[in-house]
Amino acid sequence: MHKELLAQSPLLALPLVALALFLTVFLVECARALRKPRAEVLRDASLPLTEDEPHE
């Protein structure tokens, strides 16, 4: 009885939609990161090491 109820539920598509959305965003962000120029990557990598103002 429960199997029949779950098999006909329209809510079963929601996890698949969420997975597809996650994979799409993940792949787009990976492509953007890989296409970034090397100089920009090196500049961004050194940001945590630079100090703008001395600490008091």
Residues contacting 6, CB < 8 A, separation 6+:
12
pLDDT for the residue 29:
97
Give the closest residue to 33 by CA, choosing from 45, 22, 50, 21. 45
pTM of the model: 0.62
State the pLDDT at residue 5: 66
pLDDT for res 18: 94
Better-predicted residue by pLDDT, 1 or 23: 23
Task: Dump pLDDT digits (tens) for 18-52.
Answer: 999 999 999 999 999 999 999 999 988 888 776 76
